[in-house]
Amino acid sequence: MGYLCDFCGDQRSLVYCRSDAACLCLSCDRNVHSANALSRRHSRTLLCERCNSQPAFVRCVEEKISLCQNCDWLAHGTSPTSSTHKRQTINCYSGCPSAAEFSSIWSFFLDIPSMGEACEQELGLMSINENGNKSDLVPPEGTNLSGSSQVTDLPTKGKFWAGTSSIPVSDSEPRILDQLPEPGNECMPKLNCPGKKVSGICEDDNLYDDFIMDEVDLELENYQELFGMALSHSEELFENGGFESLFETKDMSASAGESHCQGAVAAEGSSTGLVNAIQPACSNAASADSMLSTKTEPIVCFTGRQSQSNISFSGVTKDSAGDYQDCDASSMLLMGEPPWCPPCPESSLHSANRSNAVMRYKEKKKTRNAGCSVLFDDHIRIVSLNDGQLCQSHHQKPLFEKKVRYASRKARADVRRRVKGRFVKAGDVYDYDPLSQTRSY
């Protein structure tokens, strides 16, 4: 990745979106992440000003520069003089903050020349309606809105707490980016989502600066293997298998997961039992909690009208499922009536119920997909198989296998105009514009 925005390729990239694995300028960041409720939940952070490719993790007060973990170590871990520099952790943000809100998130915001300037130019010209988005400015739970928690005299050696996350981050040595996590911590880094009990999506809360998609993918695949088949099988896969066998097994496990969901509820018990068996292996209780909250979709099954019954959802009770629905996407889709609907007349009760049911389904589907999505870049492929091998046929996709493999395509699709859900030619009349959400007629 270079200095230019991954999306427009024009402006200088300033922020990094982990969910999209993309470096964006402020304008595109705002456009892309205001497209829908889910994208607004993507957590972003500053881009490392040294390597311009990794998310920044600390800001050096002395040098007034934001650095990723590797650059931080290179800058401060090797020199006795620079290791005494005061550094602040940099927190993530979500939603579509204004310049003022940026300043409140990062006290040093306006100290960044390119930021302040870009902010004036870009945010000042924003056409996106900010109404209703204030609440989208949601720092990860537990996050101090001051944004940068002071970690004066950040120890260069040893452990410290990165930002407000509850994850101890070792700074003892620079991480090799392709390095797999240590076995002992394998489940922790990607599964620990402090405070997010029922979000269903863990993507946003990581403050892991050695975050790389290869690693995540491996762990997600591992997850599917864990829950789709016996644990020993997955271990065998990692020992014997390259990625190809991994992918083959992924499909199998996905199918197995589906058969669980479609079929006998009794199977849930065994799956849940597996989860319980795994839990103690996670040293961090929050990790286990997050594991349940983020990835239990294939385990908890909904058949027929069970969604209306008192069934637990992703390991939470109906009540907490209500909390789940309170997150922005759900609240919009579940609670809101379409604006053109009359306010609950008796005659429309039936259709309202019907549309609510469809909304419920769509929300569930969206959550399910989001929970297992892994973003790749068009130019970075994990394996050099052609697409046909990765997924034999568009129509033979195993259920629950939805994975976003190409972030750039997703980004395009996210902003593409549609008519009744179908893409329309550029310039044609459309009835849905994800960017402006206005009608063309």
Partner DNA sequence: GGCACAACTTGATCCACAGCTTTAA
Partner DNA sequence: GGTTAAAGCTGTGGATCAAGTTGTG
Residue owning tokens 């690693």: 215
Helix (H) or strand (E) holding 168, with range, is: strand 168-170
Distance CA 220, CA 256 (A): 16
Instruction: Indicate whether 340 belongs to the interface with DNA (CB under 7 A).
Output: no
Residue from the set 423, 438, 439, 440 that interacts with DNA by CB under 7 A: 423
Residue from the set 307, 325, 348, 436 that interacts with DNA by CB under 7 A: 307
Instruction: Indicate whether 403 belongs to the interface with DNA (CB under 7 A).
Output: yes
What is the three-class DSSP state of 186?
Answer: coil
| Cα distances (Å, whole numbers) of residue 179 to 76, 175, 215, 222 | 21, 7, 8, 16
For residue 81 the two structure tokens come to: 């003089």
- Sign of torsion over alpha carbons 286, 407, 138, 299: negative
Instruction: Indicate whether 163 belongs to the interface with DNA (CB under 7 A).
Output: no
Instruction: Indicate whether 303 belongs to the interface with DNA (CB under 7 A).
Output: yes
Q: Where are the alpha helices (DSSP H) in 60-197?
A: 69-72, 99-105, 113-122, 188-191
For residue 355 the two structure tokens come to: 């549309």
Instruction: Indicate whether 386 belongs to the interface with DNA (CB under 7 A).
Output: yes
Instruction: Indicate whether 353 belongs to the interface with DNA (CB under 7 A).
Output: yes
| Cα distances (Å, whole numbers) of residue 176 to 69, 73, 154, 173, 179 | 11, 12, 21, 9, 5
Q: Is 163 left (phi over 0), alpha (psi -120 to 50) or beta?
A: left
Considering only residues 14 to 43 of the shown chain, the ones binding DNA according to CB under 7 A are: 36
- Are 417 and 35 in contact by the 8 Å Cβ rule? The answer is no
Specify the residue, 63 or 433, whose C-beta has the smaller distance to DNA.
433
The span of 43-51, 148-156, 267-275, 426-434 binding DNA (CB under 7 A) equals 426-434
Residue from the set 378, 429, 439, 440 that interacts with DNA by CB under 7 A: 378
The span of 81-89, 140-148, 196-204, 365-373 binding DNA (CB under 7 A) equals 365-373
What is the three-class DSSP state of 258?
Answer: helix
Specify the residue, 80 or 305, whose C-beta has the smaller distance to DNA.
305
DSSP string covering 81-99, please?
TGGG--EEE---B-S---H
Specify the residue, 37 or 274, whose C-beta has the smaller distance to DNA.
37
Residue from the set 397, 433, 435, 436 that interacts with DNA by CB under 7 A: 397
- Are 375 and 20 in contact by the 8 Å Cβ rule? The answer is yes
Specify the residue, 192 or 330, whose C-beta has the smaller distance to DNA.
330
Instruction: Indicate whether 439 belongs to the interface with DNA (CB under 7 A).
Output: no
Instruction: Indicate whether 240 belongs to the interface with DNA (CB under 7 A).
Output: no
Closest distance between DNA and the C-beta of residue 431, in Å?
8
Distance CA 319, CA 375 (A): 32
- Are 41 and 33 in contact by the 8 Å Cβ rule? The answer is no
Closest distance between DNA and the C-beta of residue 24, in Å?
15
Closest distance between DNA and the C-beta of residue 414, in Å?
5
Instruction: Indicate whether 347 belongs to the interface with DNA (CB under 7 A).
Output: no
Q: At what angle do helices 243-262 and 231-240 cross, to 10 degrees?
A: 160
The span of 65-73, 175-183, 215-223, 304-312 binding DNA (CB under 7 A) equals 304-312
Residue from the set 424, 433, 435, 436 that interacts with DNA by CB under 7 A: 424
The span of 20-28, 168-176, 275-283, 305-313 binding DNA (CB under 7 A) equals 305-313
- Are 157 and 171 in contact by the 8 Å Cβ rule? The answer is yes
Instruction: Indicate whether 318 belongs to the interface with DNA (CB under 7 A).
Output: no
Closest distance between DNA and the C-beta of residue 354, in Å?
5
Specify the residue, 39 or 148, whose C-beta has the smaller distance to DNA.
39
Instruction: Tell me which residue of 365, 361, 233, 223 sits closest to 292, measured CA to CA.
Output: 223
Instruction: Indicate whether 435 belongs to the interface with DNA (CB under 7 A).
Output: no
The span of 127-135, 207-215, 219-227, 400-408 binding DNA (CB under 7 A) equals 400-408
Distance CA 74, CA 91 (A): 21
Closest distance between DNA and the C-beta of residue 333, in Å?
9
Specify the residue, 159 or 412, whose C-beta has the smaller distance to DNA.
412
Beta bridge partners of 46: 15
Torsion over CA of 322, 323, 325 and 330, rounded to 10 degrees?
160
Specify the residue, 81 or 386, whose C-beta has the smaller distance to DNA.
386
The span of 49-57, 129-137, 213-221, 258-266 binding DNA (CB under 7 A) equals 258-266
Instruction: Tell me which residue of 55, 57, 58, 59 sits closest to 42, measured CA to CA.
Output: 55
Instruction: Please give the residue ranges that form the binding site for DNA (CB under 7 A).
Output: 36, 258, 261-262, 302-308, 350, 353-354, 357-358, 360-362, 364-366, 369, 373, 378-379, 381, 384, 386-388, 390-391, 394-395, 397, 399, 402-406, 408-410, 412-414, 416, 418, 420-427, 432, 434
